[in-house]
Amino acid sequence: MRPEKVALPVCIFHVKNIRKQGTAIEPDFSNLNSQIVACRLCPRLVHHRESVPSRACFTKEIHWRKPVPGFGDPNAWLLILGLAPSPDGGNRTGRIFTGDASAKFLIRNLYEAGFANQPESLHQHDGLILKGCYLTAAVKCVPPKHRPKPDELKHCSRYLERELLLLPRLRCVLTLGQIAFQAYKQHLGVKCRSLKFAHGAKYQLPGAPPLYASYHPSPQNTNTGVLTDQDFQKLLKMCLEEKGSTNQ
Ligand code: SF4
């Protein structure tokens, strides 16, 4: 059994990009999301999202093939940051963590923990409502082999930044996988090397919500036992306890 890692970094973090409440440059998500959906800043990803095939069982469906904005509760206290949409998921359905195996794992667990009104996320009109939680990805377009390039991550960070400004009630950030963790670290402007990705790690950052790290709920991890429902419930419980302690 893997030990749960709770990192206790020894260096002092300098968080440059501290979120300032009330400094959002748009009144709500609709303006931001329209800009995200229309974005064509990364030529390689534009080409990929418009041409990548999905599984044979979906080929007759009309695919979204555009950037995929975040989804969830605008009053969220928990942000869950993934890597990017997948060919079968967001790039097909138009909603993040919808219609693929990662969504199946994540939404089932969010439902179990009381964040979702139903255990499934199948398509944009399936009635899914998230409470207290907002889902987004570091890169809004599906990348080849799940690997965005550094300049693509940099381009797309402008949208994560604006999403964060629109979420003034955040108390916790949970990153899914190494790339999302690094993207969030980059957003904060933290250079400290002891801020390392490890499943179960928690970092207290001055001026920013506590940061938690999880393995990504991709089939490579969930089908092999690297990430189990039990592991993920444990992390969600830690986030819930964090929120409880900040409410007191
Ligand atoms: S990855 Fe982000 S910045 Fe690049 S084209 Fe897609 S939405 Fe635009």
Evaluate whether residue 8 is within a structural domain.
no
Distance 248 CA to ligand 1 centre (A): 40
pLDDT of 38:
98
Which protein residue's CA is at the shortest distance from atom 3 of ligand 1? 156
> Is the per-residue pLDDT at 35 higher than 80?
yes
Task: Note down the domain range covering 69.
Answer: 29-247
82 pairs with which residues across the strands?
137
**Predicted local confidence at residue 15, as pLDDT:** 59
Distance between CA atoms of residues 156 and 129, nearest Å: 25
Q: What does the chain come to in residues?
A: 248
175, part of any domain: yes
Please check the confidence at residue 41 and state whether its pLDDT lies above 50: yes
CATH number at residue 217: 3.40.470.10
The rounded Å distance from CA 100 to ligand 1 centre is 21
Kindly state whether residue 237 falls inside one of the protein's structural domains: yes
Domain count of the chain? Answer: 1
pLDDT digits (tens, 9 = 90+) for 9-18: 433 455 555 5
Q: Is residue 202 in some structural domain?
A: yes
Q: Does any domain span residue 42? A: yes
**Domain membership flag for residue 23:** no
What is residue 120's predicted lDDT score, i.e. its pLDDT?
Answer: 98
| pLDDT for 20 beyond 70 | no
Do 179 and 150 form a contact (C-beta atoms < 8 A)? no
Tell me: the pLDDT tens digits for 45-88? 999 999 998 888 998 899 999 999 999 999 999 999 999 999 99
151 part of a folded domain:
yes
User: For 31, which DSSP code?
Assistant: H
**What is the per-residue pLDDT across 128-172, written as a single tens digit (0 to 9) for each?**
999 999 999 999 999 999 999 999 999 999 999 999 999 999 999
Residues with CB under 6 Å of ligand 1 are 36, 39-42, 45-46, 67, 139-141, 152, 155-156
Spatial distance between the Cα atoms of 2 and 6, rounded to a whole number of angstroms: 12
- CA of 244 from ligand 1 middle (Å) equals 36
What is the overall mean pLDDT for the chain? 90
Considering the domain boundaries, does residue 80 fall inside one? yes
Does an H or E element contain 187, and which?
helix 178-188
Ligand 1 pocket test target in 39, 86, 147 with most atoms within 8 Å of CB: 39
